[in-house]
Amino acid sequence: EKIIAGVTPLRVERVLLSDSLGRALAEDLVADATLPPWNNSGMDGFAVRGKDLKGANKEFPIRLTVTRHVRAGDAPGPEIGRGEAVRIMTGAPVPPGTDSVVRVEDTDAESNSGIVQIFDDRDAGANVRPAGQDMRPGEKLLGLGHTITPGAVGVLASAGQGRVLVHGRPRAAVLTTGNELRGPDQFEDVRSGAGIPDSNGPMTSAMVAGAGASVMQLGPSADDEIDLRSWIDEATDCDALITVGGASMGDADLVKRVLDQMGYRSGFWRVRMRPGSPVGFGWLPRGDRLQPVFSLPGNPTSAFVTFELLVRPFLLRLGGHRDIERRRIVCRTEEVIHAPAQLTYFLRVQLSGAGENSRVRLTGPQGSGLVSGLGRADGLAIIKEDVLTIEEDGEVTVMLIGG
């Protein structure tokens, strides 16, 4: 609540429909056309008058005269009369006077050109999609703040939107810190025990992108005040700064010290949660504005969890998105789960089953310095502060984080 209080979505801009994926609509989308524009066929078959089908069966088929063929894009043609049929393709406009489309498999498929035999009357009154079934002028199709998914792109295209009014895409800087960090080009140091991989930089940057924002990946910074300040200055123009590491109480944990020297205004520092307790949020003066700053812990799981809970909703709200929270479901556990400290726990879990049969088990050891379990996690099991143990087959709420 402290983080998103007062957040104003970024300016609006009009972008090509092809560039709108992942953005948030900055206006309601209202239909100004009727779709489909005419009654049309729901399948390949024969358009007929339903009353002409009565009693059709394999022993006594109904024979109708086929007057023409109509395909999608064709005009429907004149009204059909008694005892007539029109061969029709899916999506094609049905001729006036027809109220039914008989599926091909209930016919002889016009084995004798110009005559169709119908062996079943089950499609009387069926398989005709009415005009306006999808949308009508004035109907609200998508609301302000709707996240544009591939399905929403289809709706926008159907509504004739070649360009779309959306909120700006937030730009976040990600700065990792620590003398021990090594990139892929220095992985020999990891093999020899002289360093650890900088997994936080790529992981956090990917999470920024997953929240619909663009990323400036910085660092890693050395555990040195001058170097750290230099990197922070690189992020001046970004909408948010996310530091990872150096947020605890050790002598080399310099992030808060440097931020304080730069006029930092703290919103909070530390949260009663695990993993991720040493996490901070505040604002850094940048000329005539204040830049939101998130200081995440350096352990990979702590960084992951605090981003999910605190940074992701902020970036989504800044980007104008209406829905900023992950979905949560109630599952049953396949094992005993312990939460020994009186803190709110967020444990990595894998899901199996579906619906009321959804079950979860831990991805493995839950140490905050471990990274391998993150790749297997479908969600975070939320263990409330007053719960120390959940027995096997007990209920637990899971925040979904998987694809």
What distance in Å separates the CA atoms of residue 179 and residue 160, rounded to the nearest whole number?
54
**Model pLDDT, residue 142:** 98
**Model pLDDT, residue 155:** 98
Query: Tens digits of per-residue pLDDT, 89-126?
Result: 999 999 999 999 999 999 999 999 999 999 999 999 99
**Model pLDDT, residue 296:** 96
What distance in Å separates the CA atoms of residue 299 and residue 366, rounded to the nearest whole number?
12
Instruction: List Cβ neighbours of 311 (8 Å cut-off, separation of 6 or more).
Output: 172, 207, 208, 211, 240, 242, 294, 296
What distance in Å separates the CA atoms of residue 188 and residue 216, rounded to the nearest whole number?
26
What distance in Å separates the CA atoms of residue 199 and residue 220, rounded to the nearest whole number?
11
Task: Please spell the DSSP secondary structure of 226-272, one letter per residue.
Answer: HHHHHHHHHTTTSSEEEEES--SSSTT--HHHHHHHTT-EEEEE--S
**Model pLDDT, residue 357:** 86
Structure tokens given for 26: 């900055």
DSSP 160: T
Quick count: other Cβ atoms within 10 Å of Cβ 227?
17
Q: Per this entry, what is the length of the chain? A: 403
Full-model pTM? 0.88
Structure tokens given for 180: 């021990």
What are residue 216's phi and psi, to 5 degrees?
A: -110, 110
Q: How far is CA 150 from the centre of its chain?
A: 10
283 close to 263: Cβ distance less than 8 angstroms:
no
114 close to 66: Cβ distance less than 8 angstroms:
yes
**Model pLDDT, residue 250:** 59
What distance in Å separates the CA atoms of residue 353 and residue 361, rounded to the nearest whole number?
12
Helix%, strand%, coil% for the chain, nearest 5: 20, 35, 45
Q: How far is CA 101 from the centre of its chain?
A: 38
**Amino acid (1-letter code) at residue 317:** R
66 close to 115: Cβ distance less than 8 angstroms:
yes
What distance in Å separates the CA atoms of residue 34 and residue 129, rounded to the nearest whole number?
13
pLDDT beneath 50, residues of the chain: none
270 close to 282: Cβ distance less than 8 angstroms:
no
**Model pLDDT, residue 354:** 86
